[in-house]
Structure 1
Amino acid sequence: MKRTLILFLGITLSVFQANAQQLDSFIEDYYTMADAEFNQESAFETVDYVQQYWRLAGNEGFNNSIYHVVEKLKNAGYVLEENAKATDRLTYRIEKRPMSRPTWEPVSGSLKIGNKELLNLKTNFNMIASYSYSTGGEKEYEVVYVEKVSAESLDGMDLKGKVVMTEGSPGRTFNEAVKKHGAAGVITYGLPAYNQPEKHQNSISFTGISNDEEAKAFGVLLSYKAHEILKKTVLAGQTKVKINLETKIYESEELTLVAEVKGSALPNERFVFSAHVQEPGANDNATGVGALGEVASSTARLLKAGKVNPARTITYLFGDEIVSTRRYVQEDAERAKGIKWGMSLDMVGENTAITGGSFLIEKMPDPGAIWTRGKEKHSEWGGRPLKKEQLKPHYFNDLTIGVFDMIGERKNWEVNYNPFEGGSDHTPFLQANIPGLLLWHFTDQFYHTDQDRIDKVSPVTLKNVGIGAMIISFALTENNDRLAHVMLSEASMAATMRLQAELKLSQEALANGGDLAEQKDIINTWADYYRDVFNATLDIEPKGMAAFKENLQATQDALMGYRNMIMGQLK
């Protein structure tokens, strides 16, 4: 039976490869153009500019970052949409909307014990919880340490005008200590294990408190080192600290930058990129802004040179994470019908020799997000098991993995993928049943901390991610007659390799006492998933549809035959 299975696999692979071009040859010209055109130093310069600011929607740093990208796009040939002629294919607009609450930004800050400074905003970029108010100069406060803050733990305490110190959420502590008990502010510490706080003792993870216009209170966030010193000092009886915070809270408007390369033949069909501007880090997410700004600029230069000619529109979004992307997907039902693919660039420039982890492609939900085994592995950010009805079968996963695997091989660059976890700009696409993927890095030991600065960013990585994003957008928007055949071929190869891998894992599970019905369910789910992936290639609407459908049916028949053969091996 083993020889029969091997023979069948060989026949199956030959069917999969018939009448289809392999991905590498299909994207070779795109790779050459993107690799030559993408300016990694320009992308890095944008990252460096953006990362200097503590960015929140509506604040000065956020808005300056938007306008910095605008200047870059204008230099590449993009025209303000309201001034554009009908023949202009490169346009941009800045959408402005009122905000439901004021924006916020830090100006300066320090925390002292006596005359000894524990923290300063200049070197501890995240020390002030967002929406903290100014102290009105340096003031002395009594610190009350509470090991665990709850409604009961603070009952009976006189906290008026004092500062509560604890380990845990500043928001929850703020609500109990300030809003219910009249404290002047809170001092908190909390970093997850993947930040390695005992190694990076000056790291502070950014977070915020509610905007309390009546109390006008504050939150100070501690590093591991500052927490150890302050806790020891307070418990020893020296409970006075000096705090000096200056912040700005003001009315503003939310900006979203929308740039487009208008499609020549199918302008209402779109590939949409998104990169969020807010968050104070360099890798998170000044790198997404820098990489996408250069993707848009490089694409414009290639278009003007006559080297690419997208039939479909390519859209580039820069704004507030999830908010801007969700709005773009939801606010115009007709436009949403034409969004065929979405891709988020979030944390895409890591120098992994410093930050750790690797480049990752977060896949659309596939069975690996139900049964996470073998090469499937969640990041330390974490994910929950999905259900079958949440799967999103599509060729987008295998196309993206195939493109980046090729770049990884040529650039000697590590490329990995992870099951769906959510939490970034790809989720609004998926929630609208639009194929959506995330390009990112993890584990990053400096994630969400003020050690996420420009020295952790790699221009080479920015380019590797940028050219992969460009290649994928060109492949899907130029409407090449070979595209559907290439996608079917790539998905077919991926399906065969996946079923092979799952067979081995299921056999190992059964040898260790696993349930036969469950193992058959896993194999069946993967086979059904890839059958639907094959069907998704029809949305490319290839020429010669009748012949393509015959090839599609033969491919599906081969897959189902291979699935049945595998089922016979499970005992």
Structure 2
Amino acid sequence: MRRSFLLLASLLLASLPLSAQTYAPPKYLVSDELFKAVAAEYSGSAAKENVKGITQFHRIQASPGFTQAREWVVSRLKELGVTDVEVEIFPSDGKIRYQTYTGPLAWTVRDAELWITKPFRARFCHYTRAPMCLTTLSNGGEWNGEVVHVGRGTSDADYEGKDVKGKIVLASGYAASVHRQAVIGRGALGVLIYPRAEDRPEHPKMVRYNGLWLKWEEKDKAGFGFQLSRNQAERLLGLLEKGQAVQVRAQVDAELHAGQLDVTSAFFRGSEKPEQEIILIAHLDHPQWSANDNASGSAALIEVARTLKKLIDEKKVTLRRTIRLMWVPEHSGTIAWLDKHRDIKERAIAVLNLDMVGEDIYQTNSRLRITRTPDSLPSFLNDLVENVAAQTAAANLTDPAGTKNLFHYEMTPYDPGSDHDMFNDGMVGVPALMLGHWPDWTHHTSEDTPDKVDPTTLKRVGVLSTAATLWLATADDEQALELALRIAANQRGEFFRRVPKARPGPLRFAEPQEPQVESRMGISPGMIEGSPQELWRRASQAERTVRSVEVLLTPGASRQLDFLSMEFGNMARMFETFTGQWQGRRPARKQTIPRRSFLGPLADSYASTWFLEQLGADHAWWEEQSQKIPHWDILVYETLNFTDGKRSLAEIEDAVRAEFGDVPDGAVERILRDLEKVKLVEFAPPKPE
């Protein structure tokens, strides 16, 4: 580290007013030389060829098709000379649980057909031609029966006055829920699932991806499922509405059995800090084709591996830290891996999750969304990736075989739904961003095909991800402190836009011994435009974001962060006082400390029903809240992330309200008390007053 850099930066920041606090660093964190080397090597066309290879396989989690795809990936890596590869196997059978997630049953499928036999004869599904028309985890067998329409088919009310035993149910709800109601609960033979009228009506030939997601104890009772297009469903609905009987024959050549979750890692080892890891992850699963979701991310990672090897072999980069590339079964494989590798919290410093990264944006009507870390885990990673994204956009990269589309991207608040959730979880605590395109009308449908994958998009996202990863793997103290200074300046500018009447002093390195913050900063409650609670949240976030750079620094250099983060910490404490957040609270709420006993997000869905079954009738409240409260799933996620064994119940409530605004009184405590009932959370008794 050059001391002159720190001295110059501190002098400039101390001497300039807020409007001119620019110490003229390079525009981008990644050097021009390194960025150009990555851009010259990474091929979007090669990545698309990998997409074509992966989409050969019906990649259902825990099943032989996934293992075949994993073997193809490993073989491709070896062809490219990437030999430091590890495959870890975890059993999965619809019964074994990894934390709150139940590993899925395995499924071997060879063929399936669905025929309408009355009042006309037509084949509505042939698995070998369109694999997605067979509902995932359909049992094997042959069935003949009459069709009964049950609306959504997911609640008891849908079946009132209808006898479905020995019949075949036509419904618009999710297949797993319909199957449990109709087949497991009422003796129906199977389910035919169609899209609701409002679900992408402009694509009436589209077939959706659904699964039965059976538990081990359900497999012998299981029937079948087929997915219909809207056109097919309307043909049947029209007949049923006229009172005509509809008969079908279903044939499925498949077995349900125990299987395995395959997690593949490829390593590029660091020389100075090999124990520190930067992880790039992509889920390999989903039915054939599922090109953008997520053959694109898995294929992009293979090209990242080739690019890294080439740059390292040519001595264009020398890694200080280790880079790990991971191909996983989404959620279930990742939680199994994290359950085994509890020490990853101490080793991994950042994760980039590539999920749906190859879109031809004009075919799919989408843009690249870079999802930030949640409030519970502020991180330098957001600022770094945003900077590299701007650098990538300015470079206007294209692939010879790709489009010349503009590079549309945006940084977005935290949004769940992929493997970044697992790493951002409070019990794991590794900052993770997701790069993926949204919206995408082809998502989880038969229309997600390789022709909608653009080599140019693959190149842009691949270069962005590789360049950011290499910066992390090679950064020294000087580079890391430059990032910290950028973060502090950016956070400070954003903060004072919220307090326009304040008279901010200079951002500077100084000893943290200034108790009269409001005097030095010139801030009083009357100057605040907006909620003091929101400003408390922002100041706290800023302090923790600056401090997060410490993981990249040597002990001596990390002391500089004390000076940079001091101002934000003092402001946070000041605004905490302004909010009066402790007034009127029961003392017990300030002293009661909830503690989590499980790792990973809470699994609460049709695909993993353990929590629902354990909670029983009380789960109705959760279902009600999910309909009433926007982003209920994120609110639950963050409530648990803030439950770190240090915060009191009152502090958790404050943090959740600061992030989400109005939260119904008692909702946070109810979440935690319900989890206490199923032994996932425990409450330490209040300390005596």
The answer on 1:531 being equivalent to 2:543 is yes
Aligned 1:219-298 pairs, distance under 5 A: 219-249=225-255, 250-280=257-287, 281-298=290-307
Report the AA paired with residue 283 of structure 1.
N
Residues 524 and 563 in structure 1, CA contact (< 8 A), matched pair in contact too: yes
TM-score (norm 1): 0.81
Q: 2:353 aligns with which of 344, 362, 367?
A: 344
Q: Distance in 1 between matches of 2:56 and 2:358?
A: 16
**What is the SS of the residue equivalent to 1:300?**
helix
**What is the SS of the residue equivalent to 1:317?**
strand
Q: Distance in 2 between matches of 1:553 and 1:14?
A: 20
Q: Distance in 2 between matches of 1:410 and 1:344?
A: 23
How far the C-alpha of 1:145 sits from its partner, in A, is 1.6
Q: Distance in 2 between matches of 1:551 and 1:478?
A: 20
Q: Distance in 2 between matches of 1:277 and 1:240?
A: 39
Q: Which residue of 2 is the match for residue 308 of structure 1?
A: 317
Residues 146 and 166 in structure 1, CA contact (< 8 A), matched pair in contact too: yes
Q: Distance in 1 between matches of 2:15 and 2:395?
A: 29
The answer on 1:422 being equivalent to 2:427 is no
Q: Distance in 1 between matches of 2:197 and 2:379?
A: 34
Aligned 1:71-220 pairs, distance under 5 A: 71-79=75-83, 91-101=84-94, 102-106=105-109, 107-112=111-116, 114-121=120-127, 124-136=130-142, 140-149=144-153, 150-154=155-159, 157-190=162-195, 197-211=200-214, 212-220=218-226
CA shift in 2, pair 1:145/1:270, >3 Å? same
TM-score (norm 2): 0.68
Please report the RMSD computed on the Cα atoms of aligned residues, expressed in angstroms. Answer: 3.1
**What is the SS of the residue equivalent to 1:201?**
coil
**What is the SS of the residue equivalent to 1:180?**
helix
**What is the SS of the residue equivalent to 1:283?**
helix
Q: Distance in 2 between matches of 1:213 and 1:26?
A: 53
Q: Distance in 2 between matches of 1:25 and 1:172?
A: 49
How far the C-alpha of 1:483 sits from its partner, in A, is 1.9
Residues 93 and 258 in structure 2, CA contact (< 8 A), matched pair in contact too: no
Report the AA paired with residue 456 of structure 1.
K
Q: Which residue of 1 is the match for residue 333 of structure 2?
A: 324
**What is the SS of the residue equivalent to 1:348?**
coil
Q: Distance in 2 between matches of 1:306 and 1:425?
A: 32
How far the C-alpha of 1:336 sits from its partner, in A, is 3.6
The answer on 1:30 being equivalent to 2:34 is yes
**What is the SS of the residue equivalent to 2:182?**
helix
Identity rate of aligned residues, in percent?
A: 24
Q: Distance in 1 between matches of 2:561 and 2:224?
A: 65
CA shift in 2, pair 1:216/1:455, >3 Å? same
Q: Distance in 2 between matches of 1:189 and 1:153?
A: 16
Residues 57 and 65 in structure 2, CA contact (< 8 A), matched pair in contact too: yes
Q: Distance in 2 between matches of 1:476 and 1:192?
A: 47
How far the C-alpha of 1:259 sits from its partner, in A, is 0.9
Residues 26 and 486 in structure 1, CA contact (< 8 A), matched pair in contact too: no
Report the AA paired with residue 284 of structure 1.
D
CA shift in 2, pair 1:160/1:535, >3 Å? closer
Q: Distance in 1 between matches of 2:163 and 2:29?
A: 73
Unaligned runs of 5+ in 2: 1-12, 95-104, 397-405, 501-526, 576-689
Q: Which residue of 2 is the match for residue 397 of structure 1?
A: 382
CA shift in 2, pair 1:192/1:263, >3 Å? farther
Report the AA paired with residue 31 of structure 1.
F
How far the C-alpha of 1:153 sits from its partner, in A, is 4.7
**What is the SS of the residue equivalent to 2:539?**
helix
Moved more, 489-498 or 214-223: 489-498
Aligned 1:61-72 pairs, distance under 5 A: 61-72=65-76
Moved more, 528-537 or 492-501: 492-501
Report the AA paired with residue 186 of structure 2.
H
CA shift in 2, pair 1:322/1:503, >3 Å? farther
Unaligned runs of 5+ in 1: 1-6, 80-90, 367-390, 505-514, 566-571
Bigger relative contact order, structure 1 or 2 (CA pairs below 8 A, ≥6 apart):
1
**What is the SS of the residue equivalent to 1:239?**
coil
How far the C-alpha of 1:135 sits from its partner, in A, is 3.7
Q: Distance in 1 between matches of 2:494 and 2:354?
A: 27
CA shift in 2, pair 1:423/1:446, >3 Å? same
How far the C-alpha of 1:105 sits from its partner, in A, is 4.8
- Kindly provide the CA deviation profile for residues 6-51 of structure 1, in whole angstroms up to 9, marking residues without a partner as x: x999623655x44x84351643222111111112122111111212
Q: Which residue of 1 is the match for residue 563 of structure 2?
A: 553
CA shift in 2, pair 1:49/1:121, >3 Å? same
Q: Distance in 1 between matches of 2:391 and 2:431?
A: 22
CA shift in 2, pair 1:549/1:215, >3 Å? closer
Report the AA paired with residue 112 of structure 2.
S
Q: Which residue of 2 is the match for residue 464 of structure 1?
A: 460
Moved more, 236-245 or 312-321: 236-245
Q: Which residue of 2 is the match for residue 44 of structure 1?
A: 48
How far the C-alpha of 1:464 sits from its partner, in A, is 0.8
Q: Which residue of 2 is the match for residue 88 of structure 1?
A: none
Q: Which residue of 1 is the match for residue 587 of structure 2?
A: none
- Kindly provide the CA deviation profile for residues 237-269 of structure 1, in whole angstroms up to 9, marking residues without a partner as x: 332233333342244332111111111111111
**What is the SS of the residue equivalent to 2:356?**
coil
Residues 206 and 229 in structure 2, CA contact (< 8 A), matched pair in contact too: yes
- Kindly provide the CA deviation profile for residues 302-334 of structure 1, in whole angstroms up to 9, marking residues without a partner as x: 111111111111111111112333333332334
Report the AA paired with residue 99 of structure 1.
S
Residues 405 and 415 in structure 1, CA contact (< 8 A), matched pair in contact too: no
Q: How many residues align?
A: 508
How far the C-alpha of 1:561 sits from its partner, in A, is 8.7
Report the AA paired with residue 40 of structure 1.
G
**What is the SS of the residue equivalent to 2:262?**
strand
**What is the SS of the residue equivalent to 1:24?**
coil
CA shift in 2, pair 1:556/1:14, >3 Å? farther
The answer on 1:53 being equivalent to 2:47 is no
- Kindly provide the CA deviation profile for residues 403-453 of structure 1, in whole angstroms up to 9, marking residues without a partner as x: 112212221411112111212111121111111111111011111111111
Report the AA paired with residue 563 of structure 2.
Q
How far the C-alpha of 1:518 sits from its partner, in A, is 4.7
Q: Which residue of 1 is the match for residue 442 of structure 2?
A: 446
Residues 133 and 218 in structure 1, CA contact (< 8 A), matched pair in contact too: yes
**What is the SS of the residue equivalent to 2:17?**
helix
Residues 348 and 462 in structure 1, CA contact (< 8 A), matched pair in contact too: yes
Residues 263 and 310 in structure 1, CA contact (< 8 A), matched pair in contact too: yes
**What is the SS of the residue equivalent to 1:246?**
strand
How far the C-alpha of 1:117 sits from its partner, in A, is 3.4
Moved more, 551-560 or 333-342: 551-560
How far the C-alpha of 1:345 sits from its partner, in A, is 0.8
How far the C-alpha of 1:491 sits from its partner, in A, is 1.2
CA shift in 2, pair 1:237/1:8, >3 Å? farther
**What is the SS of the residue equivalent to 1:285?**
helix
CA shift in 2, pair 1:201/1:121, >3 Å? farther
How far the C-alpha of 1:235 sits from its partner, in A, is 1.9
CA shift in 2, pair 1:103/1:501, >3 Å? farther
CA shift in 2, pair 1:469/1:131, >3 Å? same
